[in-house]
Amino acid sequence: MKKSNYLKLYLVTDSGLALGRSVESVVHEAVRGGVTVVQLREKEASSRDFYNTALRVKEILRGTGIPLIINDRLDILLAVDADGLHIGQSDLPYEVARRILGPDKIIGLSCDNDEQLLKANQYEDLDYVAVQAYGTQTKAEADHPLGPEGVLRSKQLTRHPLVAIGGIHLENAAAISAAYADGIAVVSEIMSAADPQKAAANLLQEFEKGRK
As annotated, the binding site for Mg(2+) includes 72, 91
Q: Are 60 and 33 in contact (CB under 8 A)?
A: no
CB 81 within 8 A of CB 15: no
What stretches of 41-176 adopt beta strand conformation (E)?
68-71, 84-87, 106-110, 128-132, 162-165
Pairing of strands 183-186, 68-71: unpaired
- Burial pattern 89-115, b for ≥16 Cβ within 10 A else e, equals eebeebeebbeebeeebbbbbbbbbee
Question: Where is the binding site, in residues?
Answer: 39-43, 71-72, 91, 110, 136-139, 167, 187-188
Cβ within 8 Å of residue 62, ≥6 positions away: none
Q: Which of 79, 72, 78 lies closest to 39, judged by CA?
A: 72
R_g (Cα) of the chain, nearest Å:
16
- What are the distances in angstroms from CA 109 to CA 56, 60, 93, 120? 25, 25, 10, 8
First to last CA, the chain: 25
